[in-house]
């Protein structure tokens, strides 16, 4: 959610669901193509999250790094 908020305020955020050991949620934005780079409607999110550390705050240690298509995915739903 923090990465999304770098570019826009997410609105109408759904409840987080856990499916196949993945957290999933949906959200809307007030502006079309806020995450677009060229023809990729989520390109800016993919670019922003690559290599971001995931910290386990309970144990205060690095858990992993985010890598698009490996451990984080974005899909544009109802993209115009």
Residue range 24-43, pLDDT digits in tens: 888 999 888 999 999 999 99
Place of tokens 């995931």: 54
> Between 63 and 7, whose confidence is greater?
7
Q: What tokens were used for 12? A: 């109408």
Query: pTM for the complete prediction?
Result: 0.74
pLDDT at 57: 75
User: What confidence score (pLDDT) does residue 65 get?
Assistant: 87
Q: Which residues of 8-25 are buried (b: 16+ CB within 10 A; e: fewer)?
A: eeeeeeeeeeeeeeeeee
Query: Which residues lie below 8 Å from residue 24, measured CB to CB, with a gap of 6+?
Result: 16, 17, 18
42-49: average pLDDT: 93
pLDDT at 80: 56
Please say whether the beta carbons of 4 and 46 come within 8 A. no
């Amino acid at each position: 959610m923090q990465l999304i908020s770098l570019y826009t305020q997410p609105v109408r955020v759904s409840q987080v669901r856990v499916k196949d050991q993945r957290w999933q949620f949906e959200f809307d934005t007030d502006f079309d193509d806020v995450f677009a780079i060229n023809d990729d409607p989520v390109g800016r999110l993919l670019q922003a999250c690559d290599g971001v550390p995931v910290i386990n705050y309970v144990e205060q240690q690095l858990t992993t790094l985010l890598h698009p298509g490996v451990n984080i995915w974005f899909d544009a739903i109802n993209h115009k």
